[in-house]
Structure 1
């Protein structure tokens, strides 16, 4: 399994506008292609005006296939043109699982 973390840095005060755009249209189309959304987050402290979404994939090939389908979708292409003026930067991180069976907080490690 791999996890992709996508972080948008936004112009000051624009995080609510990006979240609203995704709620209205973007999340439906991106979820249809990328699949398993792990989290949708906004910063509370530290670097403010950031929005992060995290997606899980079976492997790198699964991620590539899903992103290619998303990029080819005309609805997604139109949507991405509606929010670009809000962005200052975009960062992606790909994380790979290292524990065979991750535990939740408070769970007995035995």
Structure 2
């Protein structure tokens, strides 16, 4: 199992609109392709105006195939511009659990 951690820094004041758009349109499209959502978070302390979402995949090939299918969906392609204008910076990490991690 691998975990993808995606963090977006948003424009100041844009978290409400971003979460509204993802919650009413985007997450349904994403979950139909990406599968296991581990969590979707907003920051409260530390760097503000950040959204972090974590997805679990069997391996990098599973991730590649799922993300490729998502990117090909016309509904996703139409949705993306709605949130892209709110995002200032994007970071992405792939995490591998250790042998003693409770999440494997």
TM-score of the aligned structures, taking structure 1 as reference length:
0.89
Is 1:96–2:96 an aligned residue pair? yes
Rounded to whole Å, the distance in 2 between the matches of 1:101 and 1:20 is 33
1:63-87 alpha-carbon deviations (Å, 9 max, x no partner): 0000000010110000001121111
Rounded to whole Å, the distance in 2 between the matches of 1:83 and 1:57 is 24
CA gap 1:65/1:21 in 2 versus in 1, 3 angstroms: same
Poorly superposed stretches of 4+, deviation over 4 Å: none
1:4-44 alpha-carbon deviations (Å, 9 max, x no partner): 01111001111111111001100000000000000000001
Residue in 1 aligned with 2:84? 84
Displacement after TM superposition at 1:100 (Å): 5.2
Q: Which runs of 5+ in 1 are unaligned?
A: 104-110
Residue in 2 aligned with 1:44? 44
TM-score of the aligned structures, taking structure 2 as reference length:
0.94
